[in-house]
Amino acid sequence: MIRGGLVIVLMVLLGGCHSPTPHPRDVNDQAMFGPSSMRVHPTFTRIKDWSGDGKPDGVEALVELQDQFGEPTRASGKVIFELFAYRPNFPDPRGARLVNPWIASLATLEDQNARWNKALRAYDFQLGTDQIKPDKAYVLTATFELSNGRLFDRLILEPTRQDAHVGKRQRAGERVHTR
C-alpha cells in the first residue's frame, strides 16, 4: 500500500518535470509584441580586450529589440554588423568600412541561448578584429533581418582616454584625479 502510494507520488512529481512547450505567436501577438525597433545599446557597447593582454580584441555589441511598448523582446533572424571609420562634421559620419561585415544568426534555440543576456534583456555579440584602436572613434552599424523586414541602428564608438579611471575602484578617502 505504501509502495503503491510512493509510485503514484513519484509519477506526479516526474510528470511536472518536463520543459514547457512554447506556443507560437499568432498574428495578433506578433503585431502587438513583435520587434518594432532596435538599438545598439550606447552604454554597454564598447571596444573590448577579451584576452587581457592590454590590446583591444574587438567590439562587444549589445543589441536590444523593443516592442511597440518600448519593452525588450526577442526575435529570430540574423544581425549584420559593419564597422566604419568615423568622419566628424559630415551628415553621414561613416567613413571607409574597416572590416568585412560580421553576420550572426539568431535563428535557432542554441543561437538564442548563446547570445541572450538575461540581466540586460538584450543580445550580446563579440565582434573580433585587430583593426581597432582605443584612441580612435568608429561608427558601428547593425541591421537585424527578420523574416518580414529589417531594423537598423548605428552608434558612434568614442575613443577611450588613456588616463581615465574607468573600472578602477576608489578606496575610502582617496581622491581620483582626471585631466
| Pick from 11-15, 122-126, 147-151: least confident | 11-15
* Beta-sheet strands, E only, within 41-169: 46-48, 58-66, 72-73, 78-86, 94-97, 102-105, 116-117, 122-128, 138-146, 149-157
Cβ-contact 116, 139 below 8 angstroms: no
Average pLDDT over residues 113-138: 93
pTM: 0.75
The residues, ordered by sequence, that sit 6+ positions from 112 with a Cβ below 8 Å of its Cβ are 74, 76, 106
Does 13 score more than 80 pLDDT? no
Backbone Cα Rg of the chain: 23
pLDDT digits (tens, 9 = 90+) for 64-114: 999 999 999 999 999 999 999 999 999 999 999 999 999 999 999 999 999
pLDDT digits (tens, 9 = 90+) for 19-64: 567 666 666 666 677 788 999 999 999 999 988 888 899 999 999 9
